[in-house]
Structure 1
Amino acid sequence: MHVGINAQLLSFGEGYRNGGVSRYIRFLLTELARKPGEHTYTVFVNGQQVIDHLKSLNIQHPQITFVSAPWPEEKPIQRILWEQMTLPTLVKRLQIDVLHSPVNVLPERLPRTCAGVVTLHDLAFLRFPEVLTRAKRIYHQTFTLRSLRRATRLICVSESTRRDAHELAGIPLEKSHTVYPCIDERFTAEYNEEKIQEFRRAHGLNDGYILYLGTLEPRKNITRVIEAYARLRETEHRKEKLVLAGGKGWLYDAIFAKIRELGLEEDVLFPGYVADEQQVYWYQAASVFVFPSLYEGFGIPVAEALACGTPVVTSNVSSLPEAGADLALCVDPQETEALSRAIMQGLTDQELRTKCRQQASQIYQRFSAQVMVERTLAVYEKAVQRSHSVSLQ
């Protein structure tokens, strides 16, 4: 097959754009560059600098060709116009058999000879529209829903997302396939107590810390984390700091207002965007990782933290129990007291901590890049078979 991949949202910047969906694209391309199989690939990216960065990371192969669009991904209007108006023409000219849009949206007018595969990351704009800006809601309601219905095949990043696609968007279950995102192999680094203590000292975290790592946005339920943390300090007299790491997304002012309201300015740290090479240290050195999101298509930070051997507290809703792999402590994200108790258990339960260390490698194998790409290629093949059978009718 000749596979096209619309990697317009691949970013190497230091901000929220280099978050979950960008990493999903990068890990997909990394594994395809290692094992492309019999197929050839044309990958559409934003800017020559992205191509240069990919090559500097040795994400390249003779069977993979990179094509650059003329503007960076932070200009969404231009990007949308390009993928809707120009990309279909390129697909036809290059005789692409299947176009994969790794982030929710296909071009409206694909050639009839080209199958369309969409990766659906979540349906937050339908489940929790209030946590998105108006522009994001309009974009998804305009493009994402239409793409899901037009796609030949749908990749869902969890069983929860697959059910949402069926229940909320009417997508037949036989048209969708669950393919979990992968964990980067750097999260398999061996735990080194001496290096961990050195890392804590360097960041003034000698008493340990409770970590959140992800975009700062309403859906992540961070104000609830702050309330639970305040309760721990008051009732249990815990000395650990709370570290809220990650780039600012949108509608995040309430986070800082809550910290001021509770007088926690000296106890809550914001290291900002965390570079890839630093993430494993932040996870491994954390006393407990907390991620009580209100809704996630998958929630890769949960799996990453578990792969690092760190106890995890997360939500019992949407896909997060899947990411937690029967090892994370799952609680109602709306219950501050339950969240506080679970964090306390993560801090003090030595049996749980030992179990997390022992099962870390199993978590990595469960969410490996090899498994993700093998299952993704199987979806491409099903899509092309379906497309060809329809065109012959």
Structure 2
Amino acid sequence: MKIGIDARTLYKPSGGVGTYLKNLLAELGSLDQENQYVLFFDAAPPGDLDPVNFTRRTLHLPFGQNLTTWNTFRLLPELWLRPVDLFHFPFYTMPLVKPGKSVVTIHDLTYKLHPEWFNWKAWLTFRPFSYRAAKAADRILTVSYTSREDILRSYRLPEQKVVVTYHGVSEHFHKICDRGPLDEVQDSYGLRHPLLLYVGSITLRKNLVRLLWAFHQLVTEKRVDAHLLLVGRTLAPYPDLPSLVKELGLEARVSFISEYISQETLCRLYNLADLFIYPSLYEGFGLPVLEAMACGTPVVTSRVSSLPEVAGEAAILVDPYNPQEITEALWVGLTDGRLRGELMQRGLERVKKFSWRKTAQETLQVYQSVLAL
């Protein structure tokens, strides 16, 4: 059988969707030797995916190079001329006309449940076209049972149509025992202990304003001489964090890394951190939580959306709308040695439940069920 996949999100491998597709394809390439995969791009494809059963097609569109116009005006005619047996759309949307047997991945319903976190262009792209894709596709993949319930409730779909395939954790993320690489990255970025780390985009949904207030209370009320590092690129709409840092007098204690960093460097930062903090207000999955656990770092995260499902009992869970509760969790996470040891061990055990190979196996099962329709 020939399976087509919209592979355009591979251009952004540092984002959650790009990470998902990159790892899914790598595992499918080694797992499935029976089917042929055709990866579709709108520009020159990246050169780091070369399984023997993968081919690539680049489809240029001289106008409106975005999700929906490319799907409908360039991809759809190509599939009419050179059809595939099944097509997987890994990023919420598909052409206005169903191209045949189809699977779509809807990672979460943030755009529907919290439209205030999107600019109008993104909202107009995701909300109507994702709803259309959810209705038209033969199966929907999503990344947590929390997202599955959101999709079933919001779109009123039959339960068998929505299938959960969890994310995995890359083997790049692991505990480092050699202090040399850690000292190197610490010196490179001018970091000091105790170090709190956040990894993710800089946008309203990530709740970083309340994190800064909580960190301010940790420093001023708890008298903890700590450093906070925020790693991630800024996405609109976004809070003016540098101004808030200045207002709170935290310039010497808060650092930002906004440029792309390698997985090797990110792994070192996770290992270097004394505590990982992820206070997001809504997540479809929350992959950085597991990445930190894989590196043996205690985690504080939110008691909302999918985060308790992903973290289990291996993290301190907080109300993300309550800065005082976040402060207390940071304090306990830094000072309670027994709890820190328990969280480290639980985290290392927790991540064993998640693998990209399992993601690929379950995705392949969905492909096979759709092909059998």
Q: If the TM-score is normalised by the length of the shorter chain, which range does it land in?
A: over 0.9
Aligned to 1:42, the other structure's residue is in SS state: strand
> 1:167–1:67: structure 2 CA closer, same or farther, 3 Å change rule?
same
- CA distance in 2 between counterparts of 1:361 and 1:371 reads 18
1:276 aligns with 2:263: yes
| 1:20 partner letter | G
Partner residue, 2:130: 144
Question: Aligned in 2, Cα 1:76/1:21: closer, same or farther, shift over 3 Å?
Answer: farther
Which SS does the other structure have where 2:52 is aligned?
Answer: coil
CA distance in 2 between counterparts of 1:317 and 1:109 reads: 36
Which residue, 219, 241, 245 being the options, matches 2:227?
Answer: 241
Distance in 2 between residues matched to 1:18 and 1:102, nearest whole Å: 16
Shift, 1:71, TM fit: 6.8
Q: Which residue of 2 aligns with 1:62?
A: 52
Q: Does 1:217 align with 2:207?
A: no
Determine the C-alpha separation between the residues in 1 that align with 2:136 and 2:303.
32
| The one of 277, 293, 296 aligned to 1:306 | 293
Structure 1 residue 261: Cα displacement: 2.2
Residues 121 and 297, structure 1, Cα contact 8 Å, conserved in 2: yes
Aligned to 1:341: 328
Give me the TM-score of the superposition, normalised by structure 1.
0.89
2:312 to 300, 322, 325: 325
Match of residue 21 from structure 1: 17
Alignment-derived partner of residue 186 in structure 1: 172
| Match in the other structure for 2:4 | 4
CA offset at residue 189 of structure 1? 4.7
In 2, Cα distance between equivalents of 1:313 and 1:281: 19
Aligned-pair CA distance for 1:359: 4.1
1:98 has 2:98 as partner: no
User: 1:50-199 maps to which residues of 2 (within 5 A)?
Assistant: 50-52=45-47, 54=48, 59-70=49-60, 77-111=65-99, 114-199=100-185
Query: Contact (CA 8 Å) 1:153, 1:175: kept in 2 or not?
Result: yes
Give the distance between the partners of 1:230 and 1:379, measured in 2 at CA: 47
2:28 aligns with 32
Question: Which of the numbers 38, 42, 53 marks the counterpart of 2:38?
Answer: 42
Q: Normalising by structure 2, what TM-score?
A: 0.94
User: How many Å separate the matches in 1 of 2:55 and 2:74?
Assistant: 18
In structure 2, runs of 5+ residues without a counterpart are none
The CA RMSD measured in Å over matched residues stands at 2.0
Contact 1:2 1:39 in 2 (8 A): yes
**What secondary structure, in the 3-state scheme, does the structure 1 residue paired with 2:304 have?**
coil
Letter in 2 for 1:220: K
Contact in 1 for aligned 2:68/2:94 (Cα 8 Å): no
Q: What's the CA shift for 1:307?
A: 1.1
Q: Secondary structure at the match of 2:79?
A: helix
Partners in 1 of 2:300 and 2:175 — Cα distance?
A: 22
Amino acid at match of 1:155: L
Conserved in 2, the CA contact under 8 Å of 1:216 and 1:249?
Answer: yes
The residue type equivalent to 1:348 in the other structure is T
Q: How far apart, in 2, do the equivalents of 1:361 and 1:11 lie?
A: 31
Contact 1:3-1:42 at 8 Å conserved across structures: yes
Q: Which amino acid aligns with 1:107?
A: P
Per-residue deviation at 1:70?
A: 2.8
Q: Distance in 2 between matches of 1:130 and 1:76?
A: 25
Question: Aligned equivalents of 1:35 and 1:293: distance in 2?
Answer: 34
Q: Over residues 172-221 of structure 1, what are the superposed CA-to-partner deviations in whole Å (9 max), with x where a residue is unaligned?
A: 22111110112111113543344334432332223231111111110000
Q: Does the 8 Å CA contact 1:158/1:179 hold for their aligned counterparts? A: yes
Match of residue 355, structure 1, among 342, 346, 349: 342
Letter of the 2:318 partner, please give it: V
